[in-house]
Amino acid sequence: MMCESTLYTETNGVKKKIADDIMLIEVEGCSITASDMLGKTFNIRGSLKRIDLSNHEVVVVEEE
């Protein structure tokens, strides 16, 4: 069983898919860096809203 997650951002209650197959998430202050299984990285300024491991979803609220 694989445990990758899908990364979403949320703005004004609207979710937008950013990436599939996320394996690593690092948080440093307001900076969130997510890496997929191929090593591609995604940088978002914001805060974690929800990590749902049973549904493989990570939701980040973007900083305005």
Domain boundaries defined on the chain: 5-59
Q: How far apart are CA 54 and CA 48, in angstroms?
A: 17
Structural contact between residues 25 and 18, judged by C-beta atoms closer than 8 angstroms: no
Q: How far is CA 44 from the centre of its chain?
A: 8
User: Could you tell me the pTM of the whole model?
Assistant: 0.90
The reported pLDDT for the residue numbered 64 is 74
Q: Which of 7, 1, 43, 44 is nearest to 23 (CA)?
A: 7
The reported pLDDT for the residue numbered 4 is 92
**Local confidence pLDDT in tens for the 64 residues of the chain:** 567 999 999 999 899 999 999 999 999 999 999 999 999 999 999 999 999 999 999 999 998 7
Q: 7: which residues sit within 8 A by CB, 6+ positions away?
A: 17, 18, 19, 20, 22, 25, 34, 42, 58, 60
